[in-house]
Amino acid sequence: MTQEEKKALITRWIVAAAFMAVFWTVIIIVTGGRYHSNVSGLHYFLDMHDTSMVRAQREDTTTLENVKQALFKGADQNEVWGGPGSSMRVPPEGTVPRGYEPYPYEQAEIDLAGANLKNPLPLTQTVLERGKDRFETYCAVCHGMGGQGDGTVIPRMIQPPNLITGQSAGWQDGKIFHMITMGRGNMLPYAAPIRPADRWAIVHYVRLLQKKGAK
Ligand code: HEC
């Protein structure tokens, strides 16, 4: 190989390398995905990339205009967030989840609930065990394992009335059910975390505690 031929070969390699560098740079810029987003550089099918779907936890700007209220009362009486910019959808007024029975009493109607509601659960060992389990999970932190108002958060939290010696010992079952469902004063409603059957099981268990305590 002559000197001339060698030079020509080297030049050809340099040209080829430069071409490949430019070629791949362009390809990467045009099609390259970005690490922090799910979006690739070039959109071939726009309708598949840009859906009107709202992603979880993202702001939905379409609700900035037409939603003014920040908090709504959900079917379970608890407030749900669905304010301006929220992507959470607020159920249309008057709708309830499938299989859900709306609670017919207002918070203040405890006496009415007490007069009308009867405990639908039979008093059995299984029901009592369920009631004990739920009571010790949800109520005992404040009311204490035995209902004496000596739960572990007391006195850091305001002391609740004694369920054994207090007025609730003389209440009908329905009033205790109403108390759990709607709450009162410093006690929040427990309608959301405890389903109705479990609330009635708790009522049976509270009755048992009261009977034991009264001895
Ligand atoms: C965060 C603490 C807390 C928890 C948890 C809690 N309660 Fe209460 N409870 C209270 C307080 C405080 C009151 C007094 C409410 C008021 O200020 O009028 C109360 C009141 C009551 C009363 C009425 C007592 C009376 O003599 O008037 C009943 C019945 C009752 N609770 C049952 C329950 C049951 C059953 C649970 C579990 C599902 C429960 N509570 C969970 C704090 C709590």
Ligand 1 near 164 CB (within 6 A): no
For the chain, the domain total comes to: 3
Buried/exposed code over 22-42 (b: 16+ C-beta within 10 A; e: otherwise): eeeeeeeeeeeeeeeeeeeee
Per-residue model confidence (pLDDT) at position 22: 95
Per-residue model confidence (pLDDT) at position 75: 57
What is the C-alpha to C-alpha distance for residues 203 and 172, in angstroms, rounded to an integer?
A: 10
Range of the domain at 115: 110-214
Same domain, 32 and 82: no
Per-residue model confidence (pLDDT) at position 73: 64
Asked if the structure places residue 134 within a domain, the reply is yes
Asked if the structure places residue 7 within a domain, the reply is yes
Ligand 1 centroid to 30 CA: how many Å? 63
Same domain, 140 and 171: yes
Task: For residue 93, report the phi and psi dihedrals to the nearest 5 degrees.
Answer: -55, 140
Answer whether 131's CB lies under 8 Å from 139's CB: no
State which of 152, 179, 205 you would mutate to test the pocket of ligand 1, scoring each by most atoms of that ligand within 8 A of its C-beta.
179
Same domain, 195 and 136: yes
SS3 category, 100: coil
Per-residue model confidence (pLDDT) at position 53: 77
Which pLDDT tens digits describe the chain residue by residue (215 residues)?
889 999 999 999 999 999 999 999 988 877 765 555 665 566 666 666 667 777 777 888 777 776 666 666 665 556 666 667 777 776 777 777 788 888 999 999 999 999 999 999 999 999 999 999 999 999 999 999 999 999 999 989 999 999 999 999 999 999 999 999 999 999 999 998 999 999 999 999 999 999 998 65
Extract the tokens encoding 191. 């309608």
Asked if the structure places residue 104 within a domain, the reply is no
Q: What is the CATH number of the domain that holds 115?
A: 1.10.760.10
Q: Are strands 79-81 and 71-73 parallel, antiparallel or unpaired?
A: antiparallel
Ligand 1 near 190 CB (within 6 A): yes
Per-residue model confidence (pLDDT) at position 169: 95
Asked if the structure places residue 146 within a domain, the reply is yes
DSSP of 144-191 = -TTSSS--TTTTTSPPPPPTTTSGGGGS-HHHHHHHHHH-BTTBPP-T
Place of tokens 């959301």: 192
What is the C-alpha to C-alpha distance for residues 140 and 207, in angstroms, rounded to an integer?
A: 15
Same domain, 207 and 133: yes
